[in-house]
């Protein structure tokens, strides 16, 4: 099974996602990480988990689908800044390491 990280990039426009994808790819390359990328628009940020229940379920389904393709997702990297509480709650939900943009840059 191949180990990868799953990277979530929120977006507003196609230009926005292209820029953010390029930036994130550079960061991951410098760390030697292989990634799968996903992106979708976030209309409302939930204080507790950043994502609403629908998005959480969608992310869980993506992780399970990738496992079915022999890709083990070891971390979920979010191209946003999270609070410590949000990170903890998301790690409880997904049972994998959660890394926000600030932590990734500091690595």
pLDDT at res. 105: 87
- What is the residue-level pLDDT of the chain in tens, covering all 107 positions? 889 999 998 877 677 788 888 899 999 999 999 999 998 888 889 999 999 999 999 999 999 999 999 999 999 999 999 999 999 999 999 999 999 999 988 87
pLDDT at res. 39: 87
Stated pTM of the model: 0.90
**How many other C-beta atoms lie within 10 A of the C-beta of residue 9?**
21
pLDDT at res. 74: 95
pLDDT at res. 2: 87
Task: Convert 31-41 to b/e letters by CB count within 10 Å (16 or more is b).
Answer: eebebebebee
* Tally of CA atoms within 13 A in the half-sphere of 54 that contains its CB: 6
Look up residue 72 and give its two tokens: 């083990």
Q: Would you list the DSSP string of 44-68?
A: S-BTTTBS-HHHHHHHHHHHHHHHH
Q: Which of 105, 100, 96, 95 is nearest to 45 (CA)?
A: 100
């Amino acid at each position: 099974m191949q180990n990868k990280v799953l990277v979530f990039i929120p977006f507003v426009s196609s230009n926005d996602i292209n820029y953010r994808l390029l930036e994130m790819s550079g960061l991951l390359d410098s760390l030697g990480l292989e990634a799968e990328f996903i992106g979708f628009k976030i209309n409302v940020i939930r204080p507790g988990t950043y994502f609403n229940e629908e998005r959480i379920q969608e992310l869980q389904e993506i992780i399970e689908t990738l496992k079915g393709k022999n890709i083990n997702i070891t971390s979920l990297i979010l191209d946003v800044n999270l609070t410590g509480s949000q990170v903890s709650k998301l790690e409880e939900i997904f049972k994998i390491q959660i890394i926000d943009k600030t932590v990734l840059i500091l690595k």
